[in-house]
Amino acid sequence: MTVLVLGGTGFIGGPVVRRLTEVGETVALHRGGRSAPAGAVNLVADRGDPRAVLAGVRAHRVTTVVDMMAMTEADTLPLFEVLAGEIGRYVLASSADVYRNYEGLHRKAAPEPIREPLAEDSPLRTTRHPYRLTEPRAADDPQKMFDDYDKIPLEQALLAQSGFDGTVARLPMVFGPGDRQRRFAWLIAPMAAGRAEIAAPAAWLDWRTSYGFVEDVAAGLALAATHPAAGGRVYNIGPAEPLSHRDWAARLADVMRWEGRLVEAGEPSGPLAGLDLAYPLVTDTARIRAELGYEEAMAPGEALRLTIADELAREG
């Protein structure tokens, strides 16, 4: 088996490649500027050029593709077409943003909130293009692709393909070294500074979503690529016990030995004001654990220590 990872040097793609090199030949496709992890084959090419991807698949006798960069129908469906009959499996890195609760969270619709963890067959969004703005972004806007971003049609097209087996891996909010979102900076920075109190709205402290450490998510994607039972399946990847932000603060405080306290203060403001926190975004990961034997690759305490060290090493 040879696995090609599209986006194999990125925040999540790099750890995926490292995991895959432990079990077989792995090729990391990227645009250059950063080498693939040790043990992997570098393939400098443009994912947006289907013929270049096909040439790489043939040259390296690739049997499985893991696509970390699928965003729109325009940039992904041509890959499905050109690779049909050329590979055995295509793994799509999707997102928990496909679920119906996500459109409620972002006030795109007002469905009844689903309180229990979202399983793979839970209702999906009825609206499309979750990041599309009222006015289209300018052509030179680096965020322009988000006007057409949507994982739902990509999942549907993949699973309908007859030229290879499709596997969908729905990812949680991913944190860890290299996280551009810096998801826990709002807690780590004041704790490191020795602040006596950290104030946040009660609704934000109590809101629950599935956060996954990057190495744990990579382990799930590697299983989706290599396990014989994964073809044609949809899997949520994430923690077994999703925590509230209040719980995350307690865990970080323990690791950082912070002795301050959380204070409930005010209503959500800034970006949080646009969210309806009555909608949790917790996913059920029982399927991947039962079918593929998935388990976390990193102890929780070590995952937090690595995340804290990375955050504190950054400027600003």
Quote the mean pLDDT of the chain.
96
Whether residue 297 has pLDDT greater than 80 = yes
The pLDDT tens digits of the residues spanning 36-70 come to: 999 999 999 999 999 999 999 999 999 999 999 99
Distance CA 119, CA 127 (A): 19
27: left (phi over 0), alpha (psi -120 to 50) or beta: beta
Whether residue 316 has pLDDT greater than 70 = no
Indicate the residue type of 212.
G
The pLDDT tens digits of the residues spanning 111-155 come to: 999 999 999 999 999 999 999 988 999 999 999 999 999 999 999
Residue 1: which pLDDT band, with cuts at 50, 70 and 90?
very high
Name all domains of the chain by residue range, CATH numbers in brackets: 70-175+210-239+282-298 (3.40.50.720)
Residue 33: the pLDDT is 83
Total Cβ atoms within 10 A of residue 253: 17
pTM of the model: 0.97
Q: What percent of the chain stands above pLDDT 90?
A: 96
The pLDDT tens digits of the residues spanning 182-221 come to: 999 999 999 999 999 999 999 999 999 999 999 999 999 9
The pLDDT tens digits of the residues spanning 97-119 come to: 999 999 999 999 999 999 999 99
Whether residue 174 has pLDDT greater than 90 = yes
